[in-house]
Amino acid sequence: MTASNTRSLPPYALALDMEASKQDGASPLITMPFGNKVQGRPGFLHGGAISGLLEMAAIAAIHTALAKQGDDAPIKQVNVTIDFMRGGKSETTYAAGVITRLGRTMANVSAHAWQDDPGSIIAQAQMHYLISRGKDGQEA
């Protein structure tokens, strides 16, 4: 696997037809089209699918931030808290991650998801990740 923000999405994300688009200098934007595989109650997204999108956005954000430091350290998720604010409608959903702090051993990351209106967030999540850096890893 390459150490960049072109790193491919995991099989689970690909199975749900998620795509990562490279954004210059920013965290990748992850998109998820609406379809049967991500539907919960009829016409709405399943909360688990929204959560998956948020996790992928967070992971992509960390890999991008690490790549900027020239690092390809493996990461391990410790936990996640998801707030669901609006029902996800039957349309494409977008998500992006924000790194609050990238330290030597852990990262505090949040991610938010929206649909047609970027100002109208449907869900957000906070996660903690462990970072297994090599000896040359840099303190953020």
Q: Which stretch binds other proteins (CB under 8 A): 22-30, 47-55, 93-101, 105-113?
A: 47-55
The tokens of 90 are what?
């039957």
Chain centroid to Cα 96, Å, comes to: 6
Instruction: Answer whether 95's CB lies under 8 Å from 53's CB.
Output: yes
Residue 26 to residues 35, 37, 57, 97: CA-CA distances in angstroms?
A: 28, 29, 12, 9
Phi-psi group of 70: left, alpha or beta (phi > 0 → left; psi -120 to 50 → alpha; rest → beta): left
Q: Which stretch binds other proteins (CB under 8 A): 6-14, 62-70, 90-98, 101-109?
A: 6-14
Q: Which stretch binds other proteins (CB under 8 A): 31-39, 89-97, 103-111, 131-139?
A: 31-39
Binding mask 53-92 for other proteins (x = CB under 8 A): --xx--------------------xxxxxxxx--x-----
| 37 lies in the site for other proteins, by CB under 8 A | yes
| 38 lies in the site for other proteins, by CB under 8 A | yes
Q: Element (H or E) spanning 31, and its range?
A: strand 29-32
β-partners of residue 121 are: 114
Which is closer to other proteins, CB of 32 or CB of 99? 32
| 140 lies in the site for other proteins, by CB under 8 A | no
Binding site for other proteins (CB under 8 A): 10-16, 36-43, 45-49, 51-52, 55-56, 77-84, 87
